[in-house]
Amino acid sequence: MTEPNRERDSLALSNLLLCHESESSLNESEDQELDASTTTTIDDDEFIADLVRKENQRIGEEPIKTTSSDFHRLLAIDWILTTRSRFDFQHQTAYIAISYFDLFLKKRFIGLQRDETWAIRLLSVACLSLAAKMEERNVPGLSQYPQDQDFVFKPNVIRKTELMILSTLDWKMNIVTPFHYFNYFVTKTQLNQSSLVLLRSSESLLALTKEISFTDYRQFVVAAATTLLVSDVKLTREEIGNKFGSISWWTSNENDNVYSCYKRMLEIEEKKHMTPPPNLAVSGDVKPSGSGAKRRLSFDDDTDQTSASKRMRRL
């Protein structure tokens, strides 16, 4: 890579360490479109239809396309899922954190080299911390999130990154997820052992996030496809239409979208059984240019902010 390109990437990376918003911005009001902890427990077509309308209005007519590389996205998801298990967070918390990550990188470009995975780790920590604040009753302090031998982030640095994510996503953190729809579709498909189906749906959904960015789909489409996936029965487009035909707002367009998502999930599951999983280290080796020695990166707001500010002024 040429020197101008390397300098551009370093300048872009500094955005992750410096946020123009102040901490007082946390007191600003957020548009409370939807409580993300809401789930349906009854067969309520009207409520779900309204939820679908809100979802369509929010993300527009065209699906969102993320721009992060597969390598960096897998690093982020591996860390988020591992940390979810450590803190015993809900499945939905991890899913929301991954959604924040994808939505952020769709809206804000950051140039990354393969040895600059510290930026992805910092973004992962901030996304999971924000999701936990939205979903969990017991929220860990920023200093409690796991550090490793490669990266150490001070709470002030994580907090600044949280503020940058909030600003980039326009403070709209109450997003619709498949978890809002799972109970509804389990009821509609008349699957037995609904509690087991819900658990399997949640686990399958998180596993599939490594292969699919679900911000590319309407969340009710993802929920319906996941529910069908865990039924362990291969379905045709027509059979899916018959299962959901009683839903008043269900159209051939919804059916086609669910079938497309369901078919992609099936292909991934079949491929997974045929291919051994990749050996992907979560932390990654961080090496300085021209050297084979590993170094530990420590990020402290007091020591890093001045140099980051100077680099930002050159943009």
Q: What is the mean pLDDT of residues 27-31?
A: 41
Query: Residue 300 has what pLDDT?
Result: 62
Nearest in space to 113 (alpha carbons), one of 212, 19, 11: 11
Nearest in space to 218 (alpha carbons), one of 43, 54, 81, 67: 54
Whether this model's pTM surpasses 0.85: no
Mean pLDDT over each residue of the chain, to the nearest integer: 76
Looking from the CA of 32 toward its CB, the CA atoms found within 13 Å total 6
Per-residue pLDDT reduced to its tens digit, 237-269: 999 999 998 888 888 989 999 999 999 999 998
Q: Are 220 and 227 in contact (CB under 8 A)?
A: no
Task: Measure the CA–CA gap between 85 and 91, rounded to whole angstroms.
Answer: 9
Encode 162-171: b = buried (16+ Cβ within 10 Å), e = exposed: bbbbbebbee
Per-residue pLDDT reduced to its tens digit, 181-238: 999 998 888 766 678 888 999 999 999 999 888 887 889 999 999 999 998 789 999 9
Q: What is the CATH number of domain 3-24+66-176+294-313?
A: 1.10.472.10
